[in-house]
């Protein structure tokens, strides 16, 4: 093997290692007692403990945060599906003069700095009396989920072969049943990817949740970040355990999302 | 064969109406607040028109935040693209199909993490005494302290490294997929002309991918605007104001230090105007 190729392989292996090792290390630290973490020489061999994870799962604030995150993200994604998918289908299949502008408008929502959305909304929710409630968070997140799902679903619907839909029309299907019974099932795989992506996006969201909640509606990322605000006096193992808990749901979608990525690029090739 | 149908109207109008309301109400209201002098602590307010904006341009901390934000954009976007193209090409050159799939899976993991998690993972790793990332330095130097997050010169780069860890690796996967979509003939032709491997990529494949690579850079520029979570967790804008970006400064003005919502909103409005103009122009360019 040529030396150049060997170096290339070594660099790749190093990058792969760097991609996952910090996470693995965090997971290990979540299983350590504090004495095993605060060591100048990192300890690989230690007696594992479940105390940190037990502590995290036993805290009310963490459980409330988990509940809030699941409800807020779940509802926002559901709203995104109900409103985003049909709209995307209409843009993809019923071309009109404004199709380009609509797509640009949907994308431009992503340019808005989160602070610019969060500050006025905070004032608005305070005035209506909905500040620090889940409905306020759900409505705000819906803006994110609808636009992202729409943006990703338009190409997914466009990639459904037109002939299938035409054939269904010939068979006497109406426009709506073509959407329900043909387009949705055929595009389902890509659509699931788009939905999973929007879920990861709002699950990971931090700034808006931070500004729109003070006690009741805190989501998990906020709770996790607060654990560290108590300084480094908080046992590191507990912090590491909370990071692991926070990171698990998005990682569950690893398979779905990498499949989504593959399907996007397979379409481009053909 | 498509008949006239009510579908586009029933499917599009409600969604677009909701999106418009959800986006325009906060945007317009941000401008309204920016022209007033609201504070969180006091209920009353009056109209001060443009004095918040005038104050901003006299505020050295604001100007510093603008500069830090610009630096952040440049550093993260350039580093991400370099890492992505470098690793993407390497995977394309030396990894077989199965190894490629394996690396792709690994490289997607960091970007899926909540930024708060990523920030914590690396905040621990960069700890001067007990961190795993600073351990090699301690080992080599026999216990000298290396504390990247608390030095003004290195803090921004230390935080940016986490951003590149998340996005650079992810984009490497996309660069690889893009390379895989290229037709093999031009590469073969270049190879027959005895072009070296790096020459093939520098002069053949990457120029062929110019358009998608620019789009990719565009996406990264937008995502780089969302630096708040990383900075909030890792440095809180410190040491001093070395890593205080615009959104961090707006947040601390509006919430932590003084509750000057209007002042913070004026800043947000300026950011909004700047990003919307810049990205609209860039987008039209990319599309053209």
ipTM: 0.87
Taking CB atoms and an 8 Å cutoff, what residues of chain B touch A110? 222
Q: Is residue B7 part of a domain?
A: no
Q: How far is Cα A85 from Cα B62, in angstroms, rounded to an integer?
A: 41
Q: What pLDDT does A202 receive?
A: 92
Q: What pLDDT does B198 receive?
A: 85
| Number of domains comprising chain B | 1
**Per residue in B239-259, is it b (16+ CB within 10 Å) or e — as a string?**
bebbbbbbbbbbbbbbbeeee
Residue B176: pLDDT band with limits 50, 70, 90: very high
Q: How far is Cα B154 from Cα B205, in angstroms, rounded to an integer?
A: 35
Q: What pLDDT does A98 receive?
A: 83
Tell me, what CATH number does B50's domain have? 1.10.3720.10
Q: Is residue B173 part of a domain?
A: yes
Which stretch of A165-169, A232-236, B188-192 has the lowest confidence by average pLDDT?
A232-236
Q: What pLDDT does A71 receive?
A: 95
Q: How far is Cα A173 from Cα A89, in angstroms, rounded to an integer?
A: 16
Q: How far is Cα A216 from Cα A64, in angstroms, rounded to an integer?
A: 8
- Considering A11-20, B46-55, B220-229, the range whose residues carry the highest mean pLDDT is A11-20
Q: Among all residues of chain B, which has the CA nearest to that of A243?
A: B117
- Tell me the per-residue pLDDT of B91-136, one tens digit each, with 9 for 90 and over: 998 888 899 999 999 999 999 999 999 998 998 889 888 888 888 8
Q: What pLDDT does A232 receive?
A: 55
- Whether the pLDDT of residue B2 is over 60: the answer is no
DSSP characters over A137-187: HHHHHHHHHHHHHHHHHHHHHHTS-HHHHHHHHHTT--HHHHIIIIIHHHH
Q: What pLDDT does B80 receive?
A: 96
Q: What pLDDT does A259 receive?
A: 84
Is A150 near chain B, with CB under 8 Å? yes
- Tell me the per-residue pLDDT of B207-228, one tens digit each, with 9 for 90 and over: 989 888 988 998 899 888 888 9
How many other CB atoms sit within 10 Å of the CB of residue A262? 15
Residues in a beta bridge with B36: B47
Q: Is residue B61 part of a domain?
A: yes
Q: What pLDDT does B269 receive?
A: 92
Q: What pLDDT does A230 receive?
A: 63
- Tell me the per-residue pLDDT of A191-225, one tens digit each, with 9 for 90 and over: 998 999 999 989 999 999 998 988 888 999 998 88
Residue identified by tokens 């466009």 is A158
Q: How far is Cα A209 from Cα A213, in angstroms, rounded to an integer?
A: 6
Which stretch of A132-141, A257-266, B24-33, B159-168 has the lowest confidence by average pLDDT?
A257-266
Residue B1: pLDDT band with limits 50, 70, 90: very low
The fold of A60-269 is: MetI-like fold (1.10.3720)
For residues B288 and B154, the model is more confident at B154
- Whether the pLDDT of residue A269 is over 60: the answer is no
> Are A254 and B103 within 8 A, CB to CB?
no
Q: Is residue B24 part of a domain?
A: no
Report, as an integer, the average pLDDT of A135-139.
93
**Mutation site, B4, B5, B6, B15, interface A, largest A CB count within 10 A:** B15
Q: Which has the closest alpha carbon to A213: A196, A225, A231, A200?
A: A225
- Whether the pLDDT of residue B183 is over 80: the answer is yes
Q: What pLDDT does A267 receive?
A: 63
Taking CB atoms and an 8 Å cutoff, what residues of chain B touch A253? 112
- Tell me the per-residue pLDDT of B127-161, one tens digit each, with 9 for 90 and over: 888 888 888 888 888 778 888 888 888 999 999 99
Is A42 near chain B, with CB under 8 Å? yes
Q: Which uninterrupted H or E stretch holds B201?
A: none
Q: Is residue B14 part of a domain?
A: no
Q: What pLDDT does B238 receive?
A: 79
Is B23 near chain A, with CB under 8 Å? yes
Q: What pLDDT does A215 receive?
A: 84
Q: How far is Cα A108 from Cα A117, in angstroms, rounded to an integer?
A: 13
- Whether the pLDDT of residue B256 is over 80: the answer is no
Report, as an integer, the average pLDDT of A159-165.
89
Q: Is residue B229 part of a domain?
A: yes
Is A52 near chain B, with CB under 8 Å? no
Q: Is residue B49 part of a domain?
A: yes
Q: What is the percentage of chain A residues whose pLDDT exceeds 90? A: 35
For residues B287 and A89, the model is more confident at A89
Is A66 near chain B, with CB under 8 Å? no
> Are B251 and A200 within 8 A, CB to CB?
no
Whether the Cβ atoms of residue A223 and residue A61 lie closer than 8 Å to each other: yes
Is B281 near chain A, with CB under 8 Å? no
Q: How far is Cα B116 from Cα A250, in angstroms, rounded to an integer?
A: 13
Residue identified by tokens 């996406």 is B219
Whole domain around residue B260: which residue ranges? 33-287
Q: Which has the closest alpha carbon to A191: A47, A64, A86?
A: A86
Q: Is residue B141 part of a domain?
A: yes
């Amino acid at each position: 093997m040529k030396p150049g190729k060997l170096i290339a392989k070594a660099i790749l292996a190093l990058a792969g290692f760097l991609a996952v090792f910090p996470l693995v290390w965090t997971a290990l630290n979540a299983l350590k007692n504090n004495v095993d973490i605060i060591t100048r020489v990192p300890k690989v061999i230690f007696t594992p403990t479940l105390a940190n994870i037990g502590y995290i799962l036993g805290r009310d604030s963490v459980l409330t945060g988990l509940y809030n995150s699941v409800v807020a993200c779940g509802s926002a994604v559901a709203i995104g599906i109900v409103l985003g998918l049909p709209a995307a289908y209409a843009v993809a299949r019923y071309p009109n003069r404004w199709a380009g502008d609509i797509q640009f408008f949907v994308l431009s929502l992503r340019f808005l700095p989160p602070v610019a959305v969060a500050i006025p909304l905070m004032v608005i929710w305070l005035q209506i009396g909905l500040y620090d409630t889940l409905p306020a968070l759900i409505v705000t997140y819906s803006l994110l989920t609808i636009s992202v799902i729409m943006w990703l679903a338009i190409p997914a619907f466009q990639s459904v072969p037109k002939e299938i839909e035409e054939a269904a029309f010939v068979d006497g299907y109406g426009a709506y049943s073509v959407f329900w019974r043909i387009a949705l099932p055929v595009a389902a795989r890509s659509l699931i990817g788009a939905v999973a992506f929007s879920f990861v996006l709002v699950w990971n969201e931090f700034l808006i949740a931070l500004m729109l909640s003070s006690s009741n509606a805190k989501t998990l990322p906020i709770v996790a970040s607060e654990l560290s605000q108590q300084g480094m006096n908080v046992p590191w193992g507990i912090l590491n355990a909370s990071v692991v808990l926070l990171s698990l749901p998005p990682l569950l979608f690893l398979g779905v999302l990498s499949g989504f990525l593959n399907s996007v690029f397979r379409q481009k090739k053909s | 064969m498509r008949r006239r149908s009510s579908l586009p109207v029933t499917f599009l109008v409600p969604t677009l109406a909701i999106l418009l309301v959800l986006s325009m109400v906060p945007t317009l209201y941000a401008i309204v607040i920016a022209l007033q002098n609201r504070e969180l602590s006091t209920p009353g307010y009056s109209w001060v028109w443009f004095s918040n904006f005038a104050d901003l341009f006299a505020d050295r901390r604001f100007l510093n935040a603008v500069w830090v934000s610009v630096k952040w954009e440049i550093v993260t976007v350039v580093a991400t693209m370099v890492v992505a193209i470098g690793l993407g090409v390497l995977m394309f050159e030396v990894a077989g199909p199965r190894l490629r799939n394996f690396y792709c899976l690994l490289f997607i993991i960091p970007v899926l993490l909540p930024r708060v998690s990523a920030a914590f993972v690396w905040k621990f790793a960069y700890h001067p005494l007990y961190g795993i990332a600073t351990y090699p330095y301690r080992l080599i130097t026999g216990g000298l302290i290396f504390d990247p997050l608390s030095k003004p010169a290195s803090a921004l780069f230390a935080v940016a490294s986490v951003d590149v860890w998340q996005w650079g690796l992810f984009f490497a996967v996309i660069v690889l997929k893009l390379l895989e979509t290229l037709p093999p003939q031009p590469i073969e032709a270049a190879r027959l002309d005895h072009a070296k491997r790096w020459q093939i990529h520098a002069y053949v494949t990457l120029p062929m991918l110019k358009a998608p690579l620019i789009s990719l850079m565009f996406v990264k520029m937008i995502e780089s605007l969302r630096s708040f979570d990383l900075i909030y967790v890792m440095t809180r804008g410190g040491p001093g104001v070395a890593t205080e970006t615009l959104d961090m400064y707006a947040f601390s003005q509006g919430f932590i230090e003084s509750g000057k919502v209007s002042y913070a909103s004026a800043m947000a409005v300026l950011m909004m105007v700047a990003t919307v103009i810049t990205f609209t122009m860039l987008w039209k360019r990319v599309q053209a």
